């Protein structure tokens, strides 16, 4: 980057308040964070963390205030004011319950901030220093920080109400407020992820170096080669690699976003990957790849909803909201875990590509990773078939929970759980290999 293009740093106050500015205007928050000094960004993260921890601490105070006591053989529910609970915790000192709750709140915040920032890394890193890309990832997350605090607060509210309902009414079935808890949690997650993706795009220009043009045939740096000359390394005309007249012809999906073209692109990604990637337009900075992936997550979510409705059709659940709770849970969890799995595989791919130093820049890597999303169907299908197997009889809700718990072999040593873990691991490894090979296939046009 040219030294003369360095704009003046934003004022520390604006940086400090940027997460809150971001609630109303993401564009302004990003503008404030873009050129902010690292120290100010850290200050902003600390302020955000303090507010988040205070809210989380208060939520836990409320939850501890709801107690069940058995007096003379009779069950009584006691709701203590949070002032009382706080008073008790103060007496216990820093190593008591209060201290532990505060520490856990702090650790959850730090872990959340670090994990969210790191999962943005494959979507951000193009070239240059890793620290620069990580810094941009942190700024993207911070720009959405105020919204995250607001949504966490509404989630905390329903958490307290659910705890209250469970203790007071001791229901045989999950209380109604749990449906709201699931809805707020799932929807918040989707909103936050979309918002952070938007922030990534807003902040991108500032933190990504102007990347050199590269030869489509051999990857040679063409920044000092005139467009009408030939590549000094392999002799291919430079005009075929740069500008609008490239040898990459593109696919109809990149021209027109219709369902037919989306299905066509999906077929090619799954069954003709080399052909697909060697023709794909890679130089345009449109968002076709992101849309392609997002549509797959939406399709998966809808399919999961249909699958759950079919499973429930043969079940005799009486309460309609319990039905709604299960269907809602599955509809939201599929894109959440699907998205998380995708990010984890993408991160592993990026780290291996970085360590092996086999590509000079990552501008195409993220595009490939987005196009590799259809592979997630296999992941969902294996999970779905295991859960279906686990819910063969009636009493569905209990069975969905049991079937899901069985897949955690650390909790109990169920053979079905172990088999599930191995199957998912193998699917994940095959997927990772595909992503890696896909990135290598687009590196240069070898077709």
Residues that bind Zn ion (CB under 5 A): 215, 217-218, 220, 231, 233-234
CB nearer to Zn ion: give 12 or 212. Answer: 212
Q: How far is the CB of 441 from Zn ion (least distance, A)?
A: 17
Check the CA dihedral 377-140-191-179 and report its sign. positive
Q: How far is the CB of 231 from Zn ion (least distance, A)?
A: 3
Q: Which residues of 385-404 are buried (b: 16+ CB within 10 A; e: fewer)?
A: ebbeebbeeeebbebbeebb
Three-class DSSP labels, 253-299: HHHCCCHHHHHHHHHHHHHCHHHHHHHCCCCCCCCHHHHHHHHHHHH
d(CA 75, CA 78): 10
CB nearer to Zn ion: give 76 or 446. Answer: 446
Q: How far is the CB of 362 from Zn ion (least distance, A)?
A: 20
CB nearer to Zn ion: give 326 or 442. Answer: 442
Q: How far is the CB of 211 from Zn ion (least distance, A)?
A: 16
Q: How far is the CB of 237 from Zn ion (least distance, A)?
A: 10
Q: Is 116 buried (19+), middle (13-18) or exposed (0-12) by CB count in 10 A?
A: buried
Q: How far is the CB of 289 from Zn ion (least distance, A)?
A: 25
Identify the CA nearest to 386 among candidates 344, 345, 414, 410. 414
Token pair, residue 95, equals 């190593």
Three-class DSSP labels, 170-214: CCCCCCHHHHHHHHHHHHHHHHHHHHHHHHHHHHHHHHCCCCCCE
Q: How far is the CB of 232 from Zn ion (least distance, A)?
A: 8
d(CA 254, CA 262): 9
Q: Which residues of 157-177 are buried (b: 16+ CB within 10 A; e: fewer)?
A: bbbbbbbbbbbeeeeeebbbb
CB atoms within 10 A of CB 64: 19
DSSP 71: E
- Using DSSP's 3-state secondary structure scheme, residue 395 falls into coil
Estimate the share of the chain in helix, then strand, then coil, as percent rounded to the nearest 5.
Answer: 70, 5, 25
CB nearer to Zn ion: give 421 or 440. Answer: 440
Q: How far is the CB of 215 from Zn ion (least distance, A)?
A: 3
CB nearer to Zn ion: give 341 or 445. Answer: 445
Q: How far is the CB of 250 from Zn ion (least distance, A)?
A: 21
Q: Can you spell out the DSSP letters for 97-128?
A: HHHHHHHHHHHHHHHHHHHHHHHHHHHH--SS
CB nearer to Zn ion: give 215 or 312. Answer: 215
CB nearer to Zn ion: give 237 or 428. Answer: 237
d(CA 20, CA 143): 8
CB nearer to Zn ion: give 202 or 445. Answer: 445
Q: How far is the CB of 213 from Zn ion (least distance, A)?
A: 11
CB nearer to Zn ion: give 57 or 444. Answer: 444
CB 358 within 8 A of CB 133: no
CB nearer to Zn ion: give 18 or 238. Answer: 238
């Amino acid at each position: 980057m040219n030294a003369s293009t360095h704009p003046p740093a934003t004022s520390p106050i604006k940086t400090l308040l940027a997460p809150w500015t971001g609630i109303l205007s993401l564009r302004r928050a990003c503008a404030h964070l873009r050129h902010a000094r690292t120290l100010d960004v850290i200050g902003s993260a600390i302020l955000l963390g303090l507010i988040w921890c205070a809210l989380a601490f208060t939520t836990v105070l409320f939850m501890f205030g709801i107690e069940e006591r058995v007096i003379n053989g009779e069950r009584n529910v006691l709701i203590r004011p949070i002032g009382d609970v706080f008073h008790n915790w103060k007496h216990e000192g820093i190593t008591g319950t209060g201290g532990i709750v505060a520490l856990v709140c702090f650790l959850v915040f730090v872990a959340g901030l670090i994990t969210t920032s790191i999962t943005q890394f494959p979507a951000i890193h193009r070239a240059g220093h890793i620290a620069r890309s990580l810094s941009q990832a942190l700024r993207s997350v911070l720009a959405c920080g105020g919204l995250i605090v607001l949504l966490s607060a509404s989630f905390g509210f329903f958490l307290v109400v659910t705890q209250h309902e469970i203790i007071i009414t001791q229901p045989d079935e999950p209380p109604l407020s749990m449906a709201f808890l699931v809805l707020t949690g799932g929807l918040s997650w989707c909103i936050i992820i979309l918002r952070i993706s938007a922030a990534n795009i807003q902040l991108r220009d500032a933190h990504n170096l102007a990347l050199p043009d590269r030869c489509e045939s051999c990857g040679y740096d063409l920044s000092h080669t005139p467009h009408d000359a030939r590549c000094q390394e392999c002799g291919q005309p430079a005009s075929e690699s740069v500008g609008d007249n490239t040898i990459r012809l593109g696919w109809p999906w990149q021209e027109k976003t219709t369902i037919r073209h989306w299905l066509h692109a999906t077929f090619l990604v799954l069954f003709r990957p080399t052909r697909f990637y060697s023709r794909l337009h890679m130089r345009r900075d449109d968002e076709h790849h992101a849309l392609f992936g997002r549509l797959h997550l939406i399709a998966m979510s809808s399919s999961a909803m249909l699958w759950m409705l079919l499973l429930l059709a043969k079940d005799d659940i009486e309460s309609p909201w319990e039905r709604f709770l299960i269907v809602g849970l599955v509809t939201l969890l599929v894109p959440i875990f699907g998205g998380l799995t995708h990010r984890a595989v993408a991160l592993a791919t990026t780290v291996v590509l970085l360590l092996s130093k086999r590509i000079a820049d990552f501008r195409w890597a993220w595009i490939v990773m987005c196009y590799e999303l259809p592979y997630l169907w296999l992941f969902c299908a294996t999970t779905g078939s295991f859960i279906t197997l686990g819910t063969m009889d009636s009493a569905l809700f209990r069975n969905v929970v049991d079937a899901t718990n069985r897949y955690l072999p650390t909790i109990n040593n169920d053979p079905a759980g172990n088999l599930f873990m191995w199957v998912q691991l193998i699917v994940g490894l095959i997927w990772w290999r595909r992503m890696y090979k896909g990135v290598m296939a687009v590196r240069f046009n070898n077709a």
